Amino acid sequence: MQRVAFRMQLKPGFEEEYQRRHELIWPELQKLLKDSGIHEYAIFMDPVTLGLFGSLQVTDISKMDELPSQPVMQKWWAYMKDIMETNEDNSPISIPLKEVFFLP
């Protein structure tokens, strides 16, 4: 199992909408993530900067490379692009974070 962490950025004024959309996350997206070996996926928001911090565990990191080509992932990105900072392909701008400490 490998831990992965990253940060993203929410646009101002969309704090409640971001949370609402994730409370209603599509079952087919949940299935894709779980089938890709993703576990314990959490996203935290800094209420001052609206920075988003994501962390997850994955059984096979190479399976994450397949997610961008999945239609449901592309549909989710298109759905979220109006409230987040995104790349040209609608994927969220996601900056990987380096693990510097872990207390098991």
Marked catalytic residue, from 3, 22, 31, 39: 22
Q: Candidates 3.30.70.1450, 3.90.1640.10, 3.30.70.100, 3.40.190.80; correct CATH number of 2-95?
A: 3.30.70.100
pLDDT tens-place string over residues 64-103:
999 999 999 999 999 999 999 999 999 999 999 999 999 9
Q: State the pLDDT at residue 83.
A: 98
Q: Would you tell me how many other CB atoms lie within 10 Å of the CB of residue 76?
A: 21
Task: Tokens for 55, please give them.
Answer: 């962390």
* Nearest CA among 69, 94, 98, 59 for reference residue 80: 94
Is-catalytic flag, 39?
Answer: no
Instruction: Tell me the percentage of the chain whose pLDDT exceeds 70.
Output: 100
CA 77 to chain centre: 10
Q: What is the pLDDT of residues 24-79, one digit of tens each?
A: 999 999 999 999 999 999 999 999 999 999 999 999 999 999 999 999 999 999 99
Model confidence at 2, in pLDDT bands (50, 70, 90)?
very high
